[in-house]
Amino acid sequence: MNRIDNMFAKCRAEGRKALIMFVSAGDPSLAFTRRLVPALVEAGADLIELGVPFSDPMADGPTIQAASERALAGGANLEGILEMAEGLRRDCPETPMVLFSYYNVVLQYGVERLAAASARLGIDGWLLVDVPPEEEGEVVPILEQHGLVKISLLAPTTPPERMAEILRRAKGFVYYITVAGVTGARLELPEDLAEHLAAVRERSPVPVAAGFGVSSPEQARMVGGQADGVIVGSRLINVIQEAADEEGALQKARELVRSLAAALAE
């Protein structure tokens, strides 16, 4: 079992749902992200998605787009994120970490080179939002050679036949997108979300985590009632941006994670 499998098994044994936090690496600096991730883990985050900034993040809404722009303006790049990940692994030895990115970033670095570096530095898998199942043949075999997993994505619009094929290949966990469209905190989630999540979990060989739009403990509790994990990203970016300084941002981030983790433990 890898760190992702162990984490979900631990959550099941403790009778709670996993809290997955998306971090926009390098926003506002890699030095801040280096402090932020251990703070999130200490506060109750179970898995960290390290978002690699990209100049054309088509799956992301205004919040994460702006975070990527700030990170790129500050000089953040994949090389620096990998260097940071090495330190994060020392600080958080049991916490799964997944690189969240776009294929162009990976291709420029080199698929084999990045897979080898990821394995060496303690990254557990990749989530590539623009690599559909039909095109993952260039990626998955290399990841598997290095003991990494490619996280699969499902959406409310995924046809049943396509869903079955994606689930057949799923490793680690399935990221279920709660709403059609792009990322971003929302006041309300779809009324039929529970029905869709139940159908996916019934068919999935791996845990199912739901994200896109979860912004409050109440929403996390609702989503967690039908999923194995809940993913939060835009809300974290917002609370960090709203803080007066970095110390305040770290404190606000801890408070958010504690509130979300508490909701998922009920």
The predicted structure's pLDDT at residue 188: 57
Domains assigned to the chain = 3-264 (3.20.20.70)
Per residue in 224-235, pLDDT (tens digit) is 999 999 999 999
Give the residue, 1 or 248, on which the prediction is more confident.
248
Query: Does residue 199 register a pLDDT over 60?
Result: yes
User: Residue 182 — very low, low, confident or very high, per pLDDT cuts 50/70/90?
Assistant: very low
Give the DSSP H/E element, type plus range, for residue 48: strand 47-51
Largest CA distance in the chain: 49
Which residues contact residue 161 at a Cβ distance below 8 angstroms, ignoring those fewer than 6 apart?
none
Tokens of 232: 């939060």
Contact between 215 and 21 (Cβ < 8 Å): no
Average pLDDT over residues 181-191: 51
Query: What mean pLDDT, rounded, does the chain reach?
Result: 93
In this prediction, residues 178-195 reach a mean pLDDT of 61
Q: Where in the sequence numbering do the catalytic residues fall?
A: 49, 60
* pTM of the shown model: 0.94
Residues 6+ apart with CB under 8 A from 130: 58, 59, 102, 103
